[in-house]
């Protein structure tokens, strides 16, 4: 009952995707596995997201990675980029026609979250600019493609 109420208010998805996303993102960035707790009567559910032990940034902002959850758009882009590719190539493979939408919803979030990088960062508008996965993006891609095989 409470679940459907929260869904109507758009406060929950109701698609059972949250925990797999949390695990996938935390695994991709090398964070410890999340810890899920409940009491015997199941009156509460608690999720403990441990801070990545080797990351100075995560010690300063422990919830930023989860708050900035990997979007479906970034996941789609990461799945496609296997080698350095031009923007038009990626956009074409994603079958997206509008460049602004592609940049705002796919490319910029992937760059900002550190999953993708430019091959010529000093010349972002170069006609030779390509985009490739970072090591972090490679880990996410392997996790996504491994999930697909199941």
> Each residue's pLDDT tens digit in the chain (150 positions)?
555 655 666 656 666 677 777 777 777 777 777 777 777 776 666 777 776 666 554 444 433 443 345 778 899 999 999 899 999 999 999 999 999 999 999 999 999 989 999 999 999 999 999 999 999 999 888 888 876 544
**Helix intervals (H) in 32-98:** 56-60, 64-67, 72-80, 87-93
> Residues 58, 79: one domain?
no
Provide the terminal-to-terminal Cα distance of the chain, rounded to the nearest Å.
32
Is residue 78 within 8 Å of 93, Cβ to Cβ?
Answer: no
pLDDT of the residue at 62 = 38
Query: Which of residues 41, 66, 91 is at a domain's end?
Result: 66
> Residues 143, 89: one domain?
yes
> Residues 51, 85: one domain?
no
Give Cα 84 distance to the centre of its chain: 19
Half-sphere exposure of 121 (CA within 13 A, CB side): 4
Domain range enclosing 6: 2-66
Report d(CA 118, CA 134) in Å as an integer: 9
pLDDT of the residue at 12 = 61
Domain count for the chain, please give it. 2
Report d(CA 107, CA 133) in Å as an integer: 11
> Residues 101, 56: one domain?
no
pLDDT of the residue at 95 = 92
> Residues 83, 134: one domain?
yes
> Residues 93, 139: one domain?
yes
> Residues 40, 87: one domain?
no
pLDDT of the residue at 36 = 72
> Residues 97, 145: one domain?
yes
126 Cβ neighbours under 8 A, 6+ residues apart: 120
pLDDT of the residue at 63 = 39
> Residues 111, 96: one domain?
yes
pTM of the shown model: 0.54
pLDDT of the residue at 65 = 45
CA dihedral (95, 98, 102, 105) in degrees, to 10, reads -110
pLDDT of the residue at 61 = 45
SS3 of residue 43 by DSSP: coil
128 Cβ neighbours under 8 A, 6+ residues apart: 120
């Amino acid at each position: 009952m409470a679940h459907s109420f929260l869904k109507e208010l758009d406060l929950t998805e109701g698609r059972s995707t949250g925990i797999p996303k949390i695990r996938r993102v935390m695994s991709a960035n090398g964070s410890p596995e999340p810890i899920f707790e409940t009491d015997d009567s199941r009156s509460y559910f608690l999720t403990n997201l441990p801070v990545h032990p080797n990351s100075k940034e995560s010690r300063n902002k422990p919830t930023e990675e989860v708050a900035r959850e990997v979007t479906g758009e970034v996941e789609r882009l990461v799945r496609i980029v296997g080698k350095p590719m031009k923007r038009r190539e990626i956009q074409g493979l994603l079958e997206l026609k509008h460049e602004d939408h592609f940049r705002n919803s796919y490319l910029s979030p992937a760059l900002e979250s550190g999953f993708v990088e430019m091959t010529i960062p000093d010349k972002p508008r170069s006609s030779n600019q390509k985009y490739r996965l970072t090591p972090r993006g490679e880990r996410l891609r392997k996790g996504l493609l491994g999930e697909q095989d199941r």
